[in-house]
Structures are given as structure tokens and as C-alpha cells.
Amino acid sequence: MENYFPILMFVLVGIAVGVLPVVTGFILAPSRPDPEKLSPYECGFEAFEDARMKFDVRYYLIAILFILFDLEIAFLFPWATIFKDLVAAESIKLFGFLEMLVFVAILVIGYVYAWAKGALEWE
């Protein structure tokens, strides 16, 4: 039974880390409900309207651009974790750096293009 004690502690600490902030916020946070706070909100639309209503496509454009750049930035993390090893290896030192420089340049070109087309502006 003593072999399972660390697992039990791990589970209990995990549950405490998940539940404790929620309970603390519920107890300590001021509760001032009003009709605006209690109203349903979903993507800027009224919750119970006609499903065939016209909507602004710019919201989805911004969301797609966010997801696109967020996922591309996620590729930087694996590279950053092995950067020390890349620099230590003399044969691929410059290649590893230039490869990521090209990747970041493509990101910047895409960002500048979206900015120039006005995709990031909300009128």
C-alpha cells in the first residue's frame, strides 16, 4: 500500500490545484449580478435569434488569423529548446539559425500583408 501513497498524494494535490482557486474566487469575489452580466453572450450575436441572420465576417477573419499565427508561433518552442544543441554542432550551426530566420520572415510577411489589406482593422 505504501507504494501507492505518492500516487494518492499526486492526485490529491492535482485536485487541490484545480479546485482551490475556483472555490477561493467564489468565496472572495464580490457578487454583483446585473442583467448585462447574466445575459448570454456568444460571438457578439444575440443568443436566441434567427439562424439565418447576416453576420460580420471580420470576426471570423480575426479568429482565423489568430489561430494561424498562434499555431505558427508554436513551432518556435521546439526550435528554442534545441537551440543550444544547434549552436554547439558546428556543421549545422548556421543552417539551424537561417532556417528559423526564414520561418520568422514568412510570418512577418504574412502579418504585414494582413495588416496592409486591413484584415486587422475593426471599423
Q: Is the pLDDT of residue 56 over 90?
A: no
- In the numeric block, the cell 554547439 is attached to 88
How confident is the model over 79-88, as pLDDT tens digits?
Answer: 889 888 888 8
Q: Is the pLDDT of residue 11 over 90?
A: yes
Amino acid letter, 10: F
pLDDT of residue 51: 67
Q: Is the pLDDT of residue 75 over 70?
A: yes
Cα separation of 120 and 123, whole Å?
10
Cα separation of 122 and 64, whole Å?
15
Q: Is the pLDDT of residue 21 over 80?
A: yes
pLDDT of residue 54: 72
Instruction: Indicate the helix (H) or strand (E) that contains 110.
Output: helix 93-116
Residue 24 binned pLDDT confidence (cut-offs 50, 70, 90): very high
Cα separation of 87 and 83, whole Å?
6
Q: Is the pLDDT of residue 37 over 80?
A: no
State the chain's mean pLDDT as an integer. Answer: 84
| % of residues, the chain, pLDDT over 70 | 88
**What integer is the mean pLDDT of 37-42?**
70
**What integer is the mean pLDDT of 50-67?**
78
